[in-house]
Amino acid sequence: MAQKASELLQPRAEIGFDPDNWDDFAETAHRAVDDMVQYLSTVGDRPAWQPIPASTRHQFKTAVPERGIGLNQAYEQALEHVLPYPTGNIHPRFWSWVGGTGTPHGIVADLMISTMNAAGLGFDEAATTYVELQLLDWLKAMFAWPGEASGLLVSGGSMANLVGLAVARNSQTNFDVRQQGLTHPGAACLRFYASSETHSSVRKALELLGLGSNALALINTKADYSIDCRALRRRIDSDKASGLTPIAVIANAGTVNTGAIDPLNDIADLCDEQGLWMHVDGAFGAMAYLSEIAHAQVAGLERADSLAFDLHKWMYQQYDMGCVLIRDQARHAGTFNMTPDYLKKMSTGLASGPTDFSAYGVQLSRSARALRAWLTIKSEGLGKFRQLIDQNILQARYLTQRIVASPRLELAAPTVLNIVNFRYRSHGDLADIEAVNRHILDQLHQRGIATPSSTVLNDQFCIRVAICNHRSRRQDFDALIDAVLAIGAEMQPSS
Ligand X SMILES: *Cc1c(COP(=O)(O)O)cnc(C)c1O
Nearer to ligand X, 102 or 157 (CB): 157
Q: How far is the CB of 173 from ligand X (least distance, A)?
A: 24
SS3 407: coil
Measured CA to CA, the distance from residue 474 to residue 197 in angstroms comes to 29
Measured CA to CA, the distance from residue 305 to residue 326 in angstroms comes to 6
Nearer to ligand X, 283 or 298 (CB): 283
DSSP state, residue 189: G
Nearer to ligand X, 172 or 201 (CB): 201
The string over 170-180, giving b where at least 16 C-beta atoms fall within 10 Å of a residue's C-beta and e elsewhere, is bbbbeeebeee
Nearer to ligand X, 310 or 476 (CB): 310
Q: How far is the CB of 322 from ligand X (least distance, A)?
A: 5
SS3 32: helix
Burial class (CB in 10 A: 0-12, 13-18, 19+), 347: exposed
Q: Among 409, 366, 410, 399, which Cα is nearest to 466's?
A: 399
Nearer to ligand X, 449 or 462 (CB): 462
Q: How far is the CB of 85 from ligand X (least distance, A)?
A: 21
Q: Cβ(235)–Cβ(217) under 8 Å? A: yes
Q: How far is the CB of 282 from ligand X (least distance, A)?
A: 8
- Beta strand pairing status for 460-466 and 451-457? antiparallel
Nearer to ligand X, 199 or 470 (CB): 199
Q: Among 462, 457, 401, which Cα is nearest to 255's?
A: 457
Nearer to ligand X, 187 or 388 (CB): 388
Nearer to ligand X, 258 or 355 (CB): 258
Q: How far is the CB of 110 from ligand X (least distance, A)?
A: 18
Contacts of 457 (CB under 8 A, 6+ apart): 257, 258, 412, 413, 421
Measured CA to CA, the distance from residue 126 to residue 357 in angstroms comes to 13
Measured CA to CA, the distance from residue 440 to residue 328 in angstroms comes to 49
Backbone torsion region of residue 439, taken as left when φ is above 0, otherwise alpha when ψ lies between -120 and 50, otherwise beta = alpha
Q: How far is the CB of 435 from ligand X (least distance, A)?
A: 28
Measured CA to CA, the distance from residue 458 to residue 8 in angstroms comes to 70
Q: How far is the CB of 468 from ligand X (least distance, A)?
A: 10
Q: How far is the CB of 429 from ligand X (least distance, A)?
A: 32
Which positions lie near ligand X, rule CB under 6 A? 98, 156-158, 199, 201, 254, 256, 281, 283-284, 310, 322
